[in-house]
Structure 1
């Protein structure tokens, strides 16, 4: 681990050195997206397809070299981009993508991951339908406060311990992914990465709370009711499960109490929320450039303070708490490397989308607009959602946010239902597959490590299709059909 940290530090130093050398020309104006060929989107498509396919067909190769693969796709864009438009244009694209979007994104995600990873819930509950439903409901509420990653990492271990004497508990983990790792994170920019990207692009902090509260309540209530009915059937009515519970030795017997280690991290989580709120409410109007990229003072203060809180959590959290959570850096390291490549390769795609009908993706715009050029909210919901099911939901959100115009002030007012459809599609439908949202695979892996026989990639799709698709069809009709 120390060698990896040293290598990462050397890589970062090299990047900073190169950027400093070229900083004098990095402020070159961004290219006009209407002049770009759709071929510039191939590296973005390549990295997303790599994320979707390689873990399934070449697992060992992917897990050992995913960082190199992401870097190769970034280079596949930047090198020809530099030859076609000049080194300064390529460097402007790189610096703008990293400094204005990637760094704030990964700093917040790392802070939530680290701080939540220092909270360890000890003890064991009995995995009855009432207890299981209550834990899923709690995780759903926490997801919008501490992020889907934080809430999933906090509660998946207690949920698995509570049900480790039940043979039929796969459904518990599947609904946990649906609710805690996805739909529950729809009420704030802290909840899910797509919404934080919207916040970085000018969407107000509480906008999502106001406009996604009813869709989120409908989806999550429907899932909790279905879960309770299914869990009750398996727990009370299925004879095999009842007999197995009676004969099965519980590896973690129920305790008389639950206690929490690392409670100081709740204070740090509250400070994280305060910092994100501060950056959205405090507008001093001070801006400076770092290697040619514009940085607003409030965002710089937020990110530096978040890094400080991350370090403070590592310093003050008892070692036993992180050991109890089996805390390690592998998940956040994977996200950091992959998203660096994603944010670089998506840059020309965003330029072309912002060009609208003059850009290379004019046909895509026609699919989500009517003959008069007005957005079709239901199409935005499903197009964003289906791509979020098999690609990562954060860059997918960014693509459709820009396709809808990319102006936060307009989208929050006259385009509010369109922005809500994009946001809901990205967050809700990240649950449709294991690769739709980062916590999905982490939860699956942890459940398998505890002996739960999780469904295969395609079997999980059947679960999602049977349970989620009907709920999403109702969601479309109720909230995004355009009917008044």
Structure 2
């Protein structure tokens, strides 16, 4: 017989009220009921009611039964004893706590006396510690007793007992917010507890997901004292319709991307206001100087900056909106069997290199930003078999930023934001293709070769560690699932291609047509800002069509796409607004200095500045400096831009100068996360996206496919800077000496 007692306490008289405990208890009741438990569910229980419920639960347990106890709420530990707090907790002190709470150790002892076949106790609590007696002198001076600690104390598990905490001993777990239906621990536990697997593996997999989703801020605890595997779901219930319906009704687990106190609508401003203030402060003095010197000059500079900003942002925004809904691209490798481990690794590396090669071509058609948005999830999920290795995550993300976010877009003005700014200011559309193709092939070939070498070493070491640690026999492995059969490796496919966003291709084609019409001088009159308005219109039409296609209201669409579309764009807007106010100052300074910089100097200095600043304003600033040597300023331009005047009067010098600036700003923009807009977008996606990947659960009888949510780690700014510089500096030196 399966018997369970589930308690969830939200409301408290003294402690802070909680938000998800009642939901946790109700959902746990439904989950246990679907797998055959006789469940008694109690919510917001006073002490007397909790004692009555636990006594009834203990008395009904017969020898050999499966007993399950679940508690969600506040709890404390004093002198190593754990106390579960009822709702009537007013007046509980250090002296009265043992009489006013439910003692967890006593509950375990009483249940074990009934000799159940299996007893499972789950405590999703530990959200606060116990306050000391208010009359105590230590409490008056803000000191705490050494007898009191945060969280729960570890408990001994009697035979046939499994004890699971939502967090580590002596640690407080994260309380759920109003945006979450369940706590992080219970949310993941509900996804596994209805599956026919060893109960130890249920809690292990839950712990892994909780640790990843909370970025190790919460690490569950498990104490198992069972001889052999223990199951609470029989194998014949694997296809239980009730369990399947329960899983289908489950809400997706909300990942705690930020600490709970930062979940509010002004989060974007809170994260970026310092950047905006610093950028504005650095340029404020120069603006005051310009206003005192010449109002007309200041107005012209600001007007030029605004036009460059709005043109670039219109393109990036429209491409971002359309490409976030495009179907994912992925190379599949089904039914491919290799006889040796070396051949398997070579195929993995070849698949990655082939994927990146196709991505490089795509970058020059839709831009590095759109390509990054479209291809990054596919690239990560394609390598999901190694994502549980932290160094692999960092290596893949950094190389993706360097290659797809920057150097891949070197031969098309659509490829990278700096080149598009040059195009909007008068550079010929095919200029980059004519004069940068050698640097393009050398740089991307070098990065691809280095990637293949490091990827092979990384994969080899990972497989070696797998063999040494016997990972294949552990809890699970991520896709592509590799089953070892007679020294042969079978690489199975992972996630299928998703076609539900194919209509976005039409809007992407419209954007490319608008850009190409102007680029190839098709006889269409383009009034000022008309191209930007058309691009914005296409983007909003795409959003509107998306709402109609999926039958969503604007509010529903906003909520669904906030973290994946709106929030990244909002953060980039904040940075671009800062660029708008700071772009004029360096342009005016470099224009007035008229520095005699040759091509090598322009390449070196534009590359250095692009490494620590955004490469779009760096490009336009050095382009203005190069033109200023010939007395051409940004306000001395025809309808096509000041660089068109530069090319028409001094073509040879303009070609060498703009070629060097283009190569330097694009290639070295990948050194930091702020060097280019795609870098920031990829970094934001890495912290906001979770990937649902196929796993293989190993059991004694058979193996069953399942899914698990995987979350990427943060990419450190300093680590990415050091790694990117080690990759790009040799290339930078080679191009400086031999190709510029």
User: TM class, shorter-chain normalised?
Assistant: 0.7 to 0.9
Q: Partners in 1 of 2:468 and 2:358 — Cα distance?
A: 30
Structure 2 counterpart of 1:351: 588
Structure 1 counterpart of 2:500: 261
**Are residue 94 (structure 1) and residue 321 (structure 2) matched?**
no
* Cα distance change on mapping 1:73 and 1:472 into 2, 3 Å: closer
* Cα distance change on mapping 1:183 and 1:250 into 2, 3 Å: same
Q: Which moved more, 1:188-197 or 1:302-311?
A: 302-311
**Are residue 469 (structure 1) and residue 729 (structure 2) matched?**
yes
**Are residue 458 (structure 1) and residue 718 (structure 2) matched?**
yes
Structure 1 counterpart of 2:510: 271
Any idea what the Cα deviations from partners look like across 1:17-41, whole Å, max 9, x if unmatched?
xxxxxxxxxxxxxxxxxxxxxxxxx
Structure 2 counterpart of 1:25: none
**Are residue 85 (structure 1) and residue 301 (structure 2) matched?**
no
Preserved CA contact (<8 Å) 1:77 1:345 = no
* Cα distance change on mapping 1:303 and 1:171 into 2, 3 Å: same
Preserved CA contact (<8 Å) 2:612 2:674 = yes
Instruction: Tell me the SS of whatever aligns to 1:434.
Output: coil
Structure 2 counterpart of 1:146: 366
* Cα distance change on mapping 1:324 and 1:78 into 2, 3 Å: closer
Structure 2 counterpart of 1:423: 662
**CA offset at residue 114 of structure 1?**
0.9
Preserved CA contact (<8 Å) 1:411 1:418 = no
* Cα distance change on mapping 1:211 and 1:280 into 2, 3 Å: same
Q: Which has the higher strand share?
A: 2
Q: Partners in 2 of 1:111 and 1:304 — Cα distance?
A: 11
**CA offset at residue 392 of structure 1?**
0.7
TM-score, scaled relative to structure 1: 0.72
* Cα distance change on mapping 1:411 and 1:228 into 2, 3 Å: farther
Give the number of the structure with larger relative contact order, counting CA–CA contacts within 8 Å between residues 6 or more apart: 1
Instruction: Tell me the SS of whatever aligns to 1:118.
Output: coil
Q: Which has the higher helix share?
A: 1
**CA offset at residue 84 of structure 1?**
4.2
Structure 2 counterpart of 1:26: none
Preserved CA contact (<8 Å) 1:148 1:191 = yes
Q: CA RMSD in A?
A: 3.2
Any idea what the Cα deviations from partners look like across 1:385-412, whole Å, max 9, x if unmatched?
1110001100101111111115243565
Q: Partners in 1 of 2:272 and 2:367 — Cα distance?
A: 25
**CA offset at residue 275 of structure 1?**
1.0
**Are residue 379 (structure 1) and residue 601 (structure 2) matched?**
yes
* Cα distance change on mapping 1:96 and 1:436 into 2, 3 Å: closer
Structural mapping, 1:63-74, within 5 Å: 63-64=272-273, 66-67=275-276
Q: Which moved more, 1:105-114 or 1:384-393?
A: 105-114
Q: Find 1:434's aligned residue among 661, 673, 694.
A: 673
* Cα distance change on mapping 1:150 and 1:72 into 2, 3 Å: same
Structure 1 counterpart of 2:519: 280
Structure 2 counterpart of 1:6: none
Q: Partners in 2 of 1:210 and 1:432 — Cα distance?
A: 26
Any idea what the Cα deviations from partners look like across 1:157-191, whole Å, max 9, x if unmatched?
11221222312523222211110011011121111
Long gaps (5+) in structure 2? 1-267, 334-346, 481-492, 628-642, 691-710
Preserved CA contact (<8 Å) 1:234 1:241 = no
TM-score, scaled relative to structure 2: 0.49
Q: Partners in 1 of 2:269 and 2:522 — Cα distance?
A: 47
Structure 2 counterpart of 1:109: 316
* Cα distance change on mapping 1:324 and 1:104 into 2, 3 Å: closer
Q: Partners in 2 of 1:74 and 1:284 — Cα distance?
A: 40
Structure 2 counterpart of 1:51: none
* Cα distance change on mapping 1:397 and 1:270 into 2, 3 Å: same
Structural mapping, 1:40-79, within 5 Å: 62-64=271-273, 66-67=275-276, 77-78=286-287
Q: Partners in 1 of 2:328 and 2:562 — Cα distance?
A: 8
Preserved CA contact (<8 Å) 1:148 1:185 = yes
Q: Partners in 1 of 2:369 and 2:437 — Cα distance?
A: 20
**CA offset at residue 259 of structure 1?**
3.4
Give the number of equivalent residue pairs. Answer: 395
Q: Which has the larger radius of gyration?
A: 2
Q: Find 1:207's aligned residue among 431, 436, 447.
A: 431
Q: Partners in 1 of 2:586 and 2:457 — Cα distance?
A: 48
Structure 2 counterpart of 1:249: 476
Q: Partners in 2 of 1:344 and 1:60 — Cα distance?
A: 17
Preserved CA contact (<8 Å) 2:564 2:685 = no
Preserved CA contact (<8 Å) 2:606 2:665 = yes
Q: Find 2:539's aligned residue among 307, 310, 319.
A: 310
Q: Partners in 1 of 2:457 and 2:581 — Cα distance?
A: 49
Preserved CA contact (<8 Å) 1:187 1:212 = yes
Structure 1 counterpart of 2:460: 236
Preserved CA contact (<8 Å) 2:330 2:382 = no
Q: Which moved more, 1:342-351 or 1:238-247?
A: 238-247
Structure 2 counterpart of 1:289: none
**Are residue 157 (structure 1) and residue 364 (structure 2) matched?**
no
* Cα distance change on mapping 1:324 and 1:154 into 2, 3 Å: farther
